[in-house]
Each structure stands twice: as C-alpha cells, then as structure tokens.
Structure 1
Amino acid sequence: MFTHDLCDSNTVHSGKLDSQFKAILVNATKWQYYGTPNVGGTLEMTWNTSLVRAELVNIELWGYRETGEPYSDSWQGEWKYLYSLARGQPNSGSFSFLPQPAENGSSSWELGSVRVSPSTYPDGMWNVQAAWTEDHALAWHLEDRFRHNSAVWALDKCLAWDQLENQLPNFLSEIIDCPCTLAQARADTGRFHTDYGCDIEKGSVCTYHPGTVHCVRAIQASPRYAAGQQCCYDSTGVQVLTADSIGGSTPDRAHDWGSPPYKRPPRIPGQSHWVYDVLSFYYCCLWSDNCHYYFKHRRSSDCRRYQPPSTAVVFGDPHFITFDGVSYSFNGKGEYTLVMSAQKQLTIQGRTEPVNGTMINATKLSAVAMKEASSDVIEVRLVSGHHGLEVLQNQKTLSFTEQSWMDLHGVFVFSPTSTNVTVMFPTGAGVEVRLRGGTMTTTVLLPEEFNNSTIGLLGKMNGDARDDLVLSNGELVKNYSNPEEVFRFGASWGVSNDSALFTYDSEYLLDTYYHAPGHVDSFIPVFFVPESPDDPLANQASEICSGEGSEFCRYDILVGRSPIMGNATRVSFQSHISLVDDLQPVISCGWLPPPSNGKKEGTTYLQGAKVRFSCEDGYALKGSADRICQKNGQWSGEETSCVVSKKLHVQRKQ
C-alpha cells in the first residue's frame, strides 16, 4: 500500500516485498478472537491461484514484533518465519485447518500474517513471489494458557502494557485536537481522513466505537513521537469522548499509516500501530473486561484548541471565491498561480483552456499542479473527453485501480473514484478536485498557520476582503465590480515557464502552453453576460440559475453555451457555501467530570449545552446543579461536588 522504498536489511518490510497481493481470511473476526469464549473450530483462507505461479504451495506463518528500547536507536521491527501450517499443498485457492497451540516458543509472537508461496522454495525464504493475508492478532496459535482462560491471560498482558505505557513519553500533548463537530471533521479534508472502520458513507457499524456513526483520523503523524489522532462522532454530530463512553475517540501512540522515514518503530506503517494500540485494545477491552486501563493512556482529545481551516474555490469557466469570501470571474487563457505561500513553501497552479475549443470566448480550469517544499509534484488534469480525472506524480501517471490512496514523498493522495481527487500536504494544506459537468471544481483548504502568507488568484488569507485582489506587482484592485480591472489582476498571475509545475506531454500542450507566455494576451473573453430574450438558452438559464451566485451560473449557460456546465456551477457554488458554513468556528468549554459520589446528565460540551449533576443517596450537592457552556468558552456556575449529608453524617457518628 505504501510506495516508500523499504528494501533495507534492517527494515521490517523486506520479507513482504515479494508480493503486494493478499490472501483472504475467511471470517477474519474468528481468526482474531480464536480461543476466546465461544470462538473455535476450523479456520479457512482463500487466495487467487494466479498470484502464486506454482502447482504446489506452502502455507507459512510469519510473525512480527518490535524489540529494543522505545524511542532509541535500538528500537527495531522484525518479521520472522515461524513455522509452516502445510507443505506441498495443491494450489487450489483455499486452505482450512484446525489450529493447535504453537510449539517451540512461537506463541510469544502475537501479531503476524500467513504466506502462500511456491513449494519449490525452502521454508521461510525471503523475497519470493507469494500471497499474504492481512496482518492480524495470532489468537489462534497462542499457548494453552490463553485458551484455558483467555480473560486472565489477557489481563496479565493488559497490566504489562499499562506498566510499559507509564514509562513511555506522553504523546497526547503534541497531537492535533479533534474537530468539534462531525461537519467540521468531514469538511477538514486537508488534515483528517475517514477512518474506514467507521464510515457514515459506507454504513459502517463502528464495531469498536459503539454509539458513534463516523470517525476520522489525522492524516499526518505528530512531529516528535509519530503519534496518530482519531476522532469519533455520534448521530447528533458531536464528538464522543472516552471519558463518557467506550465508543469514544482514541488517539494512537503509533500512527496507523506510519510516518517518514518509515523504517523504525513507531513509524512502521500498520505494524507499529498494531503493537502499541490495537493488541493492547484486544488485551484490555476485547479479550478481557479492563478497558479502564486502555482509556487511561488513550483518552480522547477534546476540541478546545481546534481551529478550522479557511477555504477557497475555483469552479465553472472559471469563477473564484477567495479565502476571505471575495467572488469574481477570470476567463484568462494560460497557466496561473492559484495559491503561493513562500513561508510554507506551498505552490498551487491552475491551467485554463477555452471552453469547447476555440468556438467560445470563455475558459475553464483543465489542470491543477501543486507541491510543498521538496514534495513530489502532483498534477490533476481532465482526461480526453472530460469524462474523468488523471493524476500525475512527477509527470508520470498514477493508477488507483488497486487502492484508493497513496502516501508519496511529502504528499498524500486520495482518489476513491475517477472524478474525485484529494491531495494533502504535511502542513495541513488540502486540495480537493471534483469533476462536475465537464469542469474541475478545485477547493483549497489551509489551516490558520497560513494566515497572512498567501498570494495569488485565491487571495490573501487574512480575514480582510479588501486586500484580496492584489496584482503580482503589489498593486491593489480598487473596483472589484469592474471585470476588466479584475481581468488585469488575474493576468498578472501568469506562470513563467521556469516556475511552471505542469506536464507537457503532447504537441498541443507544448505549442499552446510551454512555448507561450503564462498568460495569453491575445485571448480576450466575454466580460458581460448577454441578456437576449431570443436566446434559445434564456429559459433554461432562468430555470437552472436562481439565488446567490446565479450570475456565475448564467454566464456558464449564456456565454459558455452549456446548461450542464451552468448547473454544475450552481452545485459547486452551493457546495462551497455549505462547506464554509460547516467550517465555522465552534466554542467548546471542555469536558466536565461527574462529581465523586454523583453522576451527570449530558455529554455535549459546546456553546449552549447544559450538563446537569446529581448526587447519590446520602450525599448533598454543593455548587451548581446545572452548568451551561457560555460563549466565552467557560462553564457557568460553580464547581460541583457531592458532600456527605447531615443525616448520613449523624448516622455515621452513631
């Protein structure tokens, strides 16, 4: 799944470079829980026989573990061949067996994978063509003590993990805070990505987060400890905390997707997360009833420090809404700077081409290219016929047929369909490209760290709309309603050949863009929408375009001559307005604990929320029974406690 070069004699992935293909664990949960109450019997796995070119195969178990002093040079990850489940097995595509406890000390390996490889190779030989199962907890091969009483065995493991965590550095203070609401979490695509195990779009049951409907994970690992963040939300759209529910958000000591340079724990993609965050959850929560140990070290982060990103968009043929909300149209032909931040070393460029060839004097976005610092250059462009989007990495096409996301050099790319691409950078900058009506809607999301550092067609991000349209020479546009003055602003941001990030892999691109100035002066667009009742598209424009932003929609229909494009522009405009609304800041007063010998009602901690306290029999409430989250981020009233009532106090004295 990861594209990094891990072929190093000291790295854990060397043994798994022999194949990217996976065998399938039939009923994977049974494999994971084997030996716990009511889970036993035969296990089965399947694979595509064409992936292992041999008549006979061996079925091998490999184990993974991490050894050495955590956060030191001695910390290493290791894959090791443990033993064979079968040899000389017909390559039939399936294998079943009745598990037995491992011998020769192999049961100490609690995480691993099963490999199907040609029988012509010796047992455990590295770097051969093979099919692997997913990494999983090796419950099915653990010692008899586990099977005799899995809860007692798991509690011992949980307590040992608890002691280890007490000795390790606290990573919670350096991870990013969670968004306060589900709307924010789904909108902040530059910094957070859907957790596939709890996805509202896929109808996930969120098995490990009961009571929630959707979770997201922070895309970037924390800077020092390479930790990960997870944020989960309930059906009302508010964050669920582990202090209130076992379904709450749980941060991770090791980011699930790893972190550069990927070669040492806790940065190993997938496996480090298993060792420090998943197996421990099995020990404390799934195989025994001791989740309080787990949540002591994996307590949820609230959202008091969370700051939503600012967003800007390019859509239609093309229209712009800046980070500070200025909307305008610029129909220049050429390649332009959309966003540039010297401070963050981020550059995002856009290419425009005439709508419908040379028949119409209007343009639309046809490609976006971007990079941050020394990252790979990612380009997203319309494919021939405008039926999909093509993604290029350093001028070479990327294929998303095997997987929907790739973690590349300094950039993360997600493309679930041929019409959707999201690009994410380590600073938290995100770029979403959506194909609508044959046009590219490009949304840029930037965290608050970009304030006062951006220039380009999407404006200066500083909360002040008055200085958004600034020419590349520093001159300020005085009249935003003058399309010719705005056009001069846009033209000034043409990209020179020596700074262009685009790919020129056809004669058309070479002649039209590479051997031409960044802005083509000879192309003069239509500035004003023609209003003619005799226009055959006039009625459609009136039917499709209404309300705020209708002038963009009308332009695309009456100038661009495309009702489809006009409708796509209407949808893109409305989507952006909804996105801006979803990303509005939310005030949180933070978690309130129930008083000792008391309880609370209410687990929402945002502005306007009320938390009510009460005491157990024999105790009297001191302080405020009701506390309300105020707009200043503070709880109303006084701290609540439950004190021994006079009646109970008298009884105790007697």
Structure 2
Amino acid sequence: MPRDDDRSSVGQNLTIAFPFFDALFSQLWVNINGAMSFLSPISKYTPACAPVQRAFSMISPFWADVDTRDPGYNDGIYFRESLDDTDLQQAQTEIINAFPNLNGIQLKWVFIVTWYNVTFYDTQNHPGQKRNTFQAAITTDGIHSFAIFYYNNITWTTGDASHGVNGFGGTPAQAGFDAGDITHRLMIDGSCTSEMLTIQDRSNVNFPGKWIFRVDSSDIQTAGCTTNFTSTDILRISPTFVTTFGQVNVEVSGPCIIAENSTVTCRIYDPTQMPYVESEGKIIGTFNSAKVVCPIPFLFTTGRLQLEIDVSHNVNSSETTNSVYNGFIYVTEMSPDGNGLNLKVNKALNGSVDNTIFTWDPERFVNGTEFVDIQIIVFDLSTITKPVVKSIIKIGKKVENIGKWIWNYAEEEAEKPSLPFCHFDPTEIYLQIAFEAIEFGWDEYSHPDYRSHWLANAGIEASQFIGDFCDDWVREAECEAWYYSSGTTITIDSQPCPPTLEQAQVDLRFAPEFSRDVAFYHSGEDICYQSVAPSPNGGGQECCYKNEEIDCSINGGHSEERHPNYPFSHFIDDTLPWIMCCYKQDEEICAKYQAKRPCDRGANYTPPAPARGTGDPHLNTFDGYFYTFNGFGEFWILQNSSFQPLAVQSRMEPLNATANEATIFSGFVFAVPNAAIIQIQKSLIRIVDIYIDGQQLDITSPNSLKRLSMDGWQMIIAEDLSAIHIGFSIGFAFEITTISGAFGFSASASPNWSGKTLGLLGIFNGHQDDDLTSQNGTIIPLNSTLQQIHENFGLTWITTSETTLFKYFNGKTWDDYNHIEYMPSFSFDPNAVSNHTKELCDNDWACIFDYHYTGSAAIANQTISSNQIYNETVTALNKTVETCPQLKSPANGYFNVPNYFEGAKAQFNLATK
C-alpha cells in the first residue's frame, strides 16, 4: 500500500462475498489506520470509541493514527486475497481449534492484511519512534466467516492528532467490530484505554497475541469469554448437540473466570436423572480466554436440556463466592447406523454363536492411537424414570487399532464374560446394550480433548446382536413373559395409518423412516412411514407399504406404546419385545407381539385438511378457497383460542427494494402451550435461520443438528435446508420451503380441529363461505376484489406489538416489520403481460402474477410447483378407499392378512404351543 497518512486503498473486489453482521459484502477498503471497512473508505484517524456511522461498517484490529510517510524504517502495509490451499489450511486449523463444533468446515477464501513496523502520527516530528506490527486475516466458507487478529509487537497506542504524547494518552486505539447500525458492535476489552498496550500479551484462545472471532451473524461470537457476562445471559456450548451416549467433553464459554482458587460444577437437568446429573468442570485458558470443559455423562432424555455451570471462587480463607450460569444443549439419539463401530455375529452349524467380528476405521481415532478396548455397556431401564448403567463388560483388552477384531466367544472358557441379557429372566426384558471401542488408557474426565477417542454402536446392530447372540428359546421365553405380563397392552390414540402410499406421501403428519430401519425391522416392505409427532399420550404409529398399499403382514408396521422421540422407553416397550418375539422367530411367536402392538390397516383413517401459502402470497384455506393477500407485516396464519391451542404467525415483506408492489413470506413462528416456540426466518447468508425460544439453532455447521424432538413437536430439517417439516402432537403439521428467496408452506389439520380454526387459513369446517372471516367476525364475500380482501380481511389479522410471537434481532422491533399503510398493486391484468411470461407460466394465473411483480423466474416456478403439489395432495387425500370388515382373531390361533382391500388373502393358523 502506498506510503501516506489517513489513506485507504482503492476498493478491493472480493472473489467470494464476505458475510459480516448478517450482510454480504463483495468489496472492502484497507485503511492505513489499522482497519478494514465494507461500505466506504474510512476517513477518521481517531478511533470513535462509540458506535460508528453506517458508512463505516468495519473490522479494526488496531484503529489508531498510523503514519507511513517516512520511508527509512522498512515499515509498510501489505494485503492480499488468497485462495491458496496452504493459507486456507492454516486458517482452518485456527478456526477449528477455536470453535470445535466447526470441525469439518471447508474454508474457501481468506484476505490477509499486515501492518508491519508502523509508527504513529506525526512521524515527521519524531522519526524512528515506537513501532507496532500486527495482522488481520478474515476468512469464510461462504456461510460462516471469521476474523483472526495477530499482535506481534505493540509499543504505542495513540497518535499526536488524537491528543497523544509520545505514543500514549489521548484517545488510545480500539480493536473490534462495528456494524455501523448504532446497535451491533463488539470491542476487545481495553479498547480506547492504555490497556491496548497489553493486547499482545492477552488472548481469547489462550495464545498470547492471538484473538479469534466468528463474525457472520448479528452477534459477534468471541472464541473466548466476555467480561460483562451476567447470570441472565445464555452460555455458548460447543458442540451444540450430543447424543444420549454422552462420553464427550463440551466447551462452555461466556463468563471470564479466574482459574486460580476456583472450581466449577457442571450440571445437566435430565428429567430421568432427577434433579440433575453433574460432573466436575475444568477451567482452561487465561482470564480473557477462559472456558469450562464439561464432561457429558450418559443421558436418557432427548431434546433440549438445561446445562448449568456453578463457579465457586475462594476469595480468601473465610469467603467463597458462587456464580451460576445457564445454557442449553441439544440431545439426540444415536444414528441407526451406530457411530462408526460395526459388528456382525457369526454362528456355527449347530446354531450356537461362533464369533463376532468388529470393524471400524482406525483413522477415526486421534492420531497415534495404537490400542483400543472393546466393551459392552449394559443399561438397566427397568425404571425408565431412573435409568442406570448396570455394568460395563470389557470383552477386548488392548486390541491393536487396525480396524478389525474378532471376538471368539465360543473359544473363551475361563474369561468368558457373563452376558445378563441372554439368560431367561423376565426382568432382563428391560436391558439395553451398546458397544464401544475406546482408546486404551483414555480418561475423558482428565483429558479435555474434542477429537475422537471412541467409537460406538447403540443402533440397529446392537439390537440385532441380542437377537443373534441369545438362544432362540431364551428369546421365546422372554417373549412369553412379556406377553403375559400386565401393562403390555396399549391404548392407541395415534393417527390411523393412511391406507395407501399415495396418501402417506402427502399426509404431513407422517414422514418416511430411515431406509436401514425398514430393511432390518420390516424386511420386504417397500417403504415405511412414522407419525412425525407423538400422540397426546406419547404413542406412535408406524405404517409400512408394499405395492403402494398398507401392509400388515408379519413384517408390516405396528402401533407403538412410545414414540421413537422417546428412544429409551421406545426401545423397552416396542423394540426389545420385537427382538424377542419376531426377529428370526416363527410367525406364531411373532403373533404375540402383533397382538400387543397391532398393525393399523387404515380402516379408520380420516385424511387431514390441506392448506398452503406460496409466492406473492397466494393461499388456500383448509377448505380449499384460493385467494391472494399482499400484506406487509406479521399476520395470524392460525390464531390460538380457548378451543384451538396452536398459534402460527407469518411475516410478509417485499422481496427487495425494486420488487415492492407485492410481498412474499419471509418468516414464521409456531407456539403451542407448554412447548418451546419455533421461529423460522429468511437469511441472506444461511438461507434460513431457526430459533428455539429465541436462541439460534446451529443448522449450518458440519454435521449439525437436522432432527429435533421436543415436548409437543418434532422438527425435521432437510440436509440442504430446502424444507423444514414440523409435526405437532395435537394433530397439525407444517412444511416450510425455503428456496427461491421466498418462503412457502404446506399445512395439514386433523379432522378434530374442524370448526375451531381462525386466521388467514380460514374457518375449517368443509364450507368455503366463511373462510374470509375477519378478526372482528365479519364475513367477506368470496367474490371480493384483491383490494377488498386486502383491506377488509387480510389486514384485520395483523398482529400487534403485544400479541406478536416473533423475537426481533439486529436492533429491530415490531414497528420495523409492520406497515399497515402499505398498499400493493391491485391493478393486475394477466392478459396484459408478455407472451414470454404466459409461456413461462403455462398460463397459470398465480405464476404470472408472481413473475410480473417480482421478475423472479425462480419464485414463479416455485408457485407452479406448489400448485401442482397442492392439487395432487387434494386429489390423493380425497380418494375414497373401500375396505372389507375387520376380521377377529380365532380362539387358539392367529391370522395374517396384509390389509382389508378387496382381493387380499387372510391366512388363519392354529396355535401349536
């Protein structure tokens, strides 16, 4: 950069847009005075030490009055953009070490600026004075973005024109980030004070002179701690979710903690381990970089759990202070595929167990892991409200980490372990097992390390092991004991199965099961669907299909005592009995399971009412009435009431500054009593942001959470973030589509909500006449004009600052999103548009409307697709499916029938046992 004073570079066009404070920037300016700006060059040489104007949206590693006019001291300012693998790998290593939950991130771009050996203004009055060297690197993968500050040598803080004397005093340098919106900024502690002289000795990553921050979202996230963190602030936890298996460390940051004479207790409020389960935390880093490492034990509840750290500090021999801070961690069950450890049981010709082969990828362990132990963990779930680890059985000691080990159980004699789940004992129907290969000698509690020290399998193969390893007669006896025990007959209150695959595919209350689940538990079935949310009593419904019809043969679906959202109770009440009764067992034995967990054949199925919204908002009510409403604000899609508990609000706003004659959906919020509130909103950077009770859910990090189950609902997120499926226990379901820059939605309502809905989706009662009922109860005629619908119906459903359910960010409020004075165009004439538009839309009115007002072919195509899907949904759900009367089980026998369609064959069998 040319030598000068108070100068900025020419604008640098960036190869990849840089996300900063929830905005994307494709140009930046490097300023001599220790900063970078994104909207215009910086003209000020004295740091503001207060929020800056919008034109100065900026990153400042050391904003102070730098002077490089004197060429005699080998000083200079250098910058470069890089896509070089070496630079990217170095940045990636720094970021992953600072933010462990981002392990796997692939950075694509880095911009590096170095202020080398620079002095303060006025160098002409004091040549050869004190010199500073520091560097800033900003980097991104296109979604996440980061800033890394390196301070090599800091000897001055203030220029002469900033009232400094000999480089000190006056208004010292500041370091940090400012969005330029008066609200969002983060300054490194000590900014604008003499403490800036020590910034090379401090750090937020426990490495003197190094500071790392995540900068893409509205709140800058420091890799370290915050000195003004209070007990009402929410802890940051990395990684943000764990499995029920636990056995990992999480990194908890927020308050700056004095490690000396302090201890930390970590508590997780797991309802099945009341009141909580706790472990000893470990403080790492110095004061500015302090974090707490919390070991996570086995957990028995999925969903969002409260994590608390209790910091006890001994002030002196007679005084101790305690500070308690809280955050949330999300807990999921382990994948059906396990977690990297595979196993297969081999049997001898006589049916006895010969051996079990374990395989794994040795490189999944930390580099240098030479040996592992292989063990079976046995959980006692007999009291599901208080599960415990019954035993840990080590079956392989100091096994070489080569990726394969054979457990020759048949050859073991003296050291043959006793496996409690393979002896006939009715109490052992309450056991669950998991397999683990763990690094030999590793102790998670004393080694705060986030890399992989173990692999496990608590999924299908662990369940299959019980079926293969235990003698058939033992499993049959266990099945008999379960069948005749009290409390195994269930009361079914789940949604009945759709009788055809066509209906299952469009009923939003159901979602496809994992293919591996289907292959193991329902061999021969084409596909199975699972009720998305638990029933009011916690049950579930599993529906399997063959040749596009419901199939209730021996391998078909079942009603479930406990929905899979409750993995441990589901295992004990539904999965383990199936292993005992049906896995490689005779049909007669399996019939006992089917009697207790009957397959629903769809005879009582009543389809839900579909609704949807798309494009420049076009809506179909639950009764099918189609209309268009271009509101600019937040509106009630469904208003809750004393007879309907679900509240749904939508946000509508113009697509952009030029397409302002119509609006699109840009956000939704869902609330049901005694459950967490879900907020989904459009993001320029991340496609979509999801908030749970106002806290952002991490859905963009590598291996981030894509399925979340909580009391009252379950949410399934598409891997590419194109769709978000939410099912509610009370019988509503929604799917939000996020593509094309404009959200759309599909909805379904169970028939029991007929006559009980209010809002933009109308009064669901099978009659369209009252669908345009305003909030004050006035019914608007169905043949009303666009303007009449807008003014007399749509606007009446706008929320207020008191009734809104939305949380607001970036300093915005309800007033920023709600504009009742906005008037869209009401003069649309589809006949006046170009032939190109008509051809693009195949003469579809809604598509033509959207393309005309937005100019977006993507939104127009989304509308066509939504129309097609909606019409297919209505057709499928309205089909009448005739079934024969249900058969009764014979005395002293059982029968097998796939379904009750005409032509289906029923096979009756006499009991032989």
Specify the alignment match of 1:446 in structure 2.
749
Specify the alignment match of 1:506 in structure 2.
810
Specify the alignment match of 2:826 in structure 1.
527
Specify the alignment match of 1:362 in structure 2.
662
Deviates more, 1:54-63 or 1:324-333: 54-63
Q: CA deviation at 1:117?
A: 4.1
CA distance in 2, matches of 1:112, 1:602: 34
Aligned residues: 568
1:335 corresponds, among 634, 637, 652, to: 634
CA distance in 1, matches of 2:478, 2:454: 31
Change in Cα spacing, 1:408 to 1:156, as seen in structure 2 (3 Å) is closer
2:376 corresponds, among 37, 51, 61, to: 61
**Is the contact made by 2:489 and 2:597 (CA closer than 8 Å) also made in structure 1?**
no
Query: Quick check: 1:230 aligned with 2:542?
Result: yes
Which string of whole-angstrom CA distances, capped at 9 and with x for unpartnered residues, describes residues 45-79 of structure 1?
326766669846543321023336xxxxx975332
Specify the alignment match of 1:644 in structure 2.
none
Which string of whole-angstrom CA distances, capped at 9 and with x for unpartnered residues, describes residues 172-211 of structure 1?
444432222222222222x323221478xxxx6x343244
Specify the alignment match of 1:283 in structure 2.
580
Q: CA deviation at 1:582?
A: 2.0
Query: Quick check: 1:570 aligned with 2:893?
Result: no
Specify the alignment match of 2:526 in structure 1.
213
Change in Cα spacing, 1:532 to 1:596, as seen in structure 2 (3 Å) is closer
Specify the alignment match of 1:493 in structure 2.
797
Specify the alignment match of 1:399 in structure 2.
698
Specify the alignment match of 2:360 in structure 1.
46
SS at match of 2:738: strand
Query: Quick check: 1:378 aligned with 2:688?
Result: no
1:170 corresponds, among 467, 472, 489, to: 489
**Is the contact made by 1:530 and 1:559 (CA closer than 8 Å) also made in structure 2?**
no
2:457 corresponds, among 128, 131, 134, to: 134
Change in Cα spacing, 1:197 to 1:127, as seen in structure 2 (3 Å) is farther
Aligned-partner residue type, residue 240 of structure 1: D
CA distance in 2, matches of 1:482, 1:32: 73
Report 1:63-78 matches (<5 A).
63-67=378-382, 76-78=386-388
**Is the contact made by 2:713 and 2:727 (CA closer than 8 Å) also made in structure 1?**
yes
Change in Cα spacing, 1:158 to 1:33, as seen in structure 2 (3 Å) is farther
Specify the alignment match of 2:777 in structure 1.
474
CA distance in 1, matches of 2:488, 2:463: 29
Specify the alignment match of 1:83 in structure 2.
393
CA distance in 1, matches of 2:872, 2:398: 60
What CA RMSD, in Å, does the superposition of the two structures yield over aligned residues?
A: 4.0
Deviates more, 1:590-599 or 1:522-531: 590-599
More strand by share: 2
Aligned-partner residue type, residue 564 of structure 2: D
Specify the alignment match of 2:125 in structure 1.
none
Change in Cα spacing, 1:17 to 1:64, as seen in structure 2 (3 Å) is closer
Q: CA deviation at 1:126?
A: 14
Specify the alignment match of 2:617 in structure 1.
318
CA distance in 1, matches of 2:607, 2:347: 40
Specify the alignment match of 2:505 in structure 1.
186
* Normalised TM-score (structure 2): 0.56
Deviates more, 1:278-287 or 1:480-489: 278-287
Aligned-partner residue type, residue 900 of structure 2: Y
Q: CA deviation at 1:599?
A: 13
Which string of whole-angstrom CA distances, capped at 9 and with x for unpartnered residues, describes residues 333-373 of structure 1?
11111111312321111111112324431111111111111
Aligned-partner residue type, residue 610 of structure 2: T
Query: Quick check: 1:152 aligned with 2:461?
Result: no
Query: Quick check: 1:591 aligned with 2:910?
Result: no
CA distance in 2, matches of 1:490, 1:360: 18
Which string of whole-angstrom CA distances, capped at 9 and with x for unpartnered residues, describes residues 252-271 of structure 1?
3333221xxxxxxxxxx2x3
Aligned-partner residue type, residue 6 of structure 1: D
Change in Cα spacing, 1:389 to 1:522, as seen in structure 2 (3 Å) is same
Aligned-partner residue type, residue 377 of structure 1: I
**Is the contact made by 1:404 and 1:414 (CA closer than 8 Å) also made in structure 2?**
yes
Higher Rg of the two aligned structures: 2
CA distance in 1, matches of 2:397, 2:420: 20
Query: Quick check: 1:559 aligned with 2:861?
Result: no
Specify the alignment match of 1:264 in structure 2.
none
CA distance in 2, matches of 1:597, 1:579: 44
Change in Cα spacing, 1:117 to 1:351, as seen in structure 2 (3 Å) is same
**Is the contact made by 1:217 and 1:228 (CA closer than 8 Å) also made in structure 2?**
yes
Percentage identity across aligned positions?
22
Q: CA deviation at 1:228?
A: 2.7
Unaligned runs of 5+ in 1: 69-73, 259-268, 617-654
**Is the contact made by 2:551 and 2:601 (CA closer than 8 Å) also made in structure 1?**
no
Change in Cα spacing, 1:469 to 1:492, as seen in structure 2 (3 Å) is same
CA distance in 2, matches of 1:142, 1:483: 64
Report 1:20-39 matches (<5 A).
23-26=339-342, 28=343, 30-31=344-345, 37=351
Aligned-partner residue type, residue 783 of structure 2: Y
**Is the contact made by 1:454 and 1:461 (CA closer than 8 Å) also made in structure 2?**
yes
CA distance in 1, matches of 2:652, 2:744: 12
Query: Quick check: 1:414 aligned with 2:681?
Result: no
**Is the contact made by 2:653 and 2:817 (CA closer than 8 Å) also made in structure 1?**
no
**Is the contact made by 2:560 and 2:597 (CA closer than 8 Å) also made in structure 1?**
yes
Q: CA deviation at 1:318?
A: 1.1
Query: Quick check: 1:107 aligned with 2:457?
Result: no
**Is the contact made by 1:57 and 1:119 (CA closer than 8 Å) also made in structure 2?**
yes
Specify the alignment match of 1:642 in structure 2.
none
Change in Cα spacing, 1:33 to 1:589, as seen in structure 2 (3 Å) is farther
Change in Cα spacing, 1:126 to 1:426, as seen in structure 2 (3 Å) is farther
CA distance in 2, matches of 1:222, 1:32: 40
CA distance in 2, matches of 1:426, 1:113: 30
CA distance in 2, matches of 1:522, 1:182: 47
Deviates more, 1:466-475 or 1:8-17: 8-17
Aligned-partner residue type, residue 335 of structure 1: E
CA distance in 1, matches of 2:795, 2:779: 14
Aligned-partner residue type, residue 530 of structure 2: R
Specify the alignment match of 1:97 in structure 2.
406
Change in Cα spacing, 1:39 to 1:126, as seen in structure 2 (3 Å) is farther
* Normalised TM-score (structure 1): 0.76
**Is the contact made by 2:379 and 2:391 (CA closer than 8 Å) also made in structure 1?**
no
Which string of whole-angstrom CA distances, capped at 9 and with x for unpartnered residues, describes residues 106-165 of structure 1?
33376311234454467999999863523257689989xx97x9333333333333333x
**Is the contact made by 1:23 and 1:45 (CA closer than 8 Å) also made in structure 2?**
no
Query: Quick check: 1:16 aligned with 2:298?
Result: yes
Unaligned runs of 5+ in 2: 1-241, 245-267, 278-295, 301-330, 423-430
CA distance in 1, matches of 2:906, 2:435: 52
**Is the contact made by 1:600 and 1:612 (CA closer than 8 Å) also made in structure 2?**
no
CA distance in 2, matches of 1:419, 1:40: 48
CA distance in 2, matches of 1:213, 1:12: 43
Specify the alignment match of 2:761 in structure 1.
458
Change in Cα spacing, 1:54 to 1:398, as seen in structure 2 (3 Å) is farther
CA distance in 2, matches of 1:320, 1:142: 52
Query: Quick check: 1:432 aligned with 2:742?
Result: no
Specify the alignment match of 1:261 in structure 2.
none
Higher relative contact order (CA 8 A, sep 6+): 1
